[in-house]
């Protein structure tokens, strides 16, 4: 019984980790943006992602190269670049 409960809990965590937030690119595609509107949306989305990632790095108490690496990967994942 304990094994079944453990398997269920682990599968829930695996499924929730597989569901990702849409990236800036995905959001722009859904809105069918192009030209100047696409550039403006992408720029704002990247700035928002950078601010959010910096906040997450500060929360994790990262600094130096670790912070830069974390922020770069975080922004890349958020923007879909």
Tell me the pLDDT tens digit for each residue of 21-67: 788 888 888 889 889 999 999 899 999 999 999 999 999 998 999 99
Q: What is the pTM of this model?
A: 0.65
Length of the chain equals 81
Residues with Cβ within 8 Å of 23's Cβ and at least 6 positions away in sequence, in order, are 77, 78, 79, 80
Q: CA-based angle 37:48:55, to the nearest 5?
A: 175
pLDDT at 17 over 50: no
The residue-averaged pLDDT of 8-12 equals 56
pLDDT of residue 19: 47
**Residue 11 falls in which region: left (phi positive, over 0), alpha (psi -120 to 50) or beta:** alpha
């Amino acid at each position: 019984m304990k094994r079944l409960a453990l398997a269920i809990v682990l599968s829930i965590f695996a499924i929730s980790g597989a569901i990702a937030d849409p990236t800036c690119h995905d959001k722009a595609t859904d809105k069918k943006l192009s030209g100047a509107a696409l550039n403006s949306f992408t720029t704002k989305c990247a700035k928002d992602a950078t601010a959010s990632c910096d906040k997450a790095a500060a929360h994790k108490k990262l600094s130096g190269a670790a912070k830069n690496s974390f922020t770069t990967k975080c922004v890349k994942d958020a923007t879909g670049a």
